[in-house]
Structure 1
Amino acid sequence: MFSIPLADDAHLFSLEAWHAEEFLAHMDRGREYIGEHIALADVVTDLDTARGFLSDYAQKTAADGGRIYGIRDGGTLVGGVLFRTFDARTGTCEVGCWLEPTSAGRGLVTKACRVLLDWAFHERGMHRAEWYASSANKKSLAVAERLGMTREGVLRQNQPHHGIRQDTEVWAVLAHEWPPAPTA
């Protein structure tokens, strides 16, 4: 399958159901860090839930409603990015991410999200890409800012996470705000 270089020995690739064991091992390594702000670590807890989560994204991909990609660093799955939603009819998608702490701070998520957004805007003609993150998740908010997104507002105490209601920030970038595709 395809593999897009992000940095020395770091690549973006299509994460599929047959990667379930590797995906679960990755979740087990990063569960506490990943789960601090997002529910993914609570959803993927064993091989069946890992396979089910990835299978759900395979169905979303087939229906053109979402996609999921892994980030390998030194050959090990350490994180990922996704189109949590992808609505070609309305031209709106939502991008998300997660990463193990061992690979944080290298710009891998930002680079991977740029690949997704380039594709969404330049290949698929999307109009708007959204980013939702807990107000407490400063690293995720920094990615949105580095991507040139605009903070549009805060959904106050809209999302319970680990028994605490958290605020969710909404960020977005529009097609005309995204850098043009490089010319050949």
Structure 2
Amino acid sequence: MFATDLADDAQLFPLEVWHAEEFLAHIDRGREFIGQFIGFPDRATDLDSARQLLRSNAEKSAADGRRLYGIRVGGTLVGGVLFADFDAAAGNCEVGCWMEPAGTGRGLVTQACRVLIDWAFEVRGMHRVEWHVASGNAKSIAVAERLGLTREGVLRQNHLHRGVRQDTEVWSVLAPEWAAARTA
């Protein structure tokens, strides 16, 4: 198995089914914080459901679709990034993230997303990477801005999360824009 260093004590790695106990412990530590905008805490409530969530994502990854990656700091899983959607045939994908409080404030999500976006464009030949974020999620919007993504618009009240309709902002970057920014 591989891991990519994000910092001296932080690594990005593929999150797989056999990480279910570690994933559940992470979700339990950050359940309320993560659950403000992300559905994982509502779907991973015990070891069986955590395992099923990871298994479902592993099946999608095997079909060249959705992929999950964990972020460890000092050996402890504190968050992750993902390809929430990956359509190689169309050349489009969506990147996203989640983090428990212990992992915030170090730029790890931004760095991890750069790794995913680089891979999407440079290795897989994708044309467009999207970032979907609840309008109230200021930290995630800040990541999109740091990555140099362009805010395209707002899908008004399109997402029902914990009984509340949320607006979703759509941000994106195109392959030529990413390449130009990386060489600048």
Whether 2:94 is the aligned partner of 1:107: answer no
Residues 112-165 of structure 1: CA deviation (Å, up to 9, x unaligned): 000000000000000000111100000001111111110000000111112211
Q: C-alpha distance in 2, partners of 1:133/1:147?
A: 14
CA RMSD of aligned residues (A): 1.4
In structure 2, the partner of 1:65 is 65
Residue 178 of structure 1: SS of its match in structure 2? helix
In structure 1, the partner of 2:53 is 53
TM-score, length of structure 1 as denominator length: 0.96
- 8 Å Cα contact 1:66-1:85 kept in structure 2: yes
Q: C-alpha distance in 1, partners of 2:102/2:57?
A: 25
In structure 1, the partner of 2:29 is 29
Q: C-alpha distance in 2, partners of 1:148/1:48?
A: 38
Deviates more, 1:27-36 or 1:156-165: 156-165
> Structure 1: where are the runs of 5+ without partners?
none
State the one-letter code of the partner of 1:91: G
State the one-letter code of the partner of 1:10: A
In structure 2, the partner of 1:167 is 167
> Structure 2: where are the runs of 5+ without partners?
none
Deviates more, 1:156-165 or 1:125-134: 156-165
Deviates more, 1:157-166 or 1:108-117: 157-166
In structure 2, the partner of 1:41 is 41
* Percentage of matched positions with identical amino acids: 69
Q: C-alpha distance in 1, partners of 2:26/2:101?
A: 11
1:181 is displaced (CA, Å) by 10
Q: Taking structure 1 as reference, are residues 52 and 181 closer, same or farther at Cα in structure 2, changes over 3 Å only? A: farther
1:180 is displaced (CA, Å) by 6.1
TM-score, length of structure 2 as denominator length: 0.96
| Residues 1-184 of structure 1 aligned to structure 2 (within 5 Å) | 1-179=1-179
1:182 is displaced (CA, Å) by 8.2
Q: Taking structure 1 as reference, are residues 168 and 181 closer, same or farther at Cα in structure 2, changes over 3 Å only? A: closer
- 8 Å Cα contact 1:154-1:168 kept in structure 2: yes
Q: C-alpha distance in 2, partners of 1:7/1:108?
A: 8
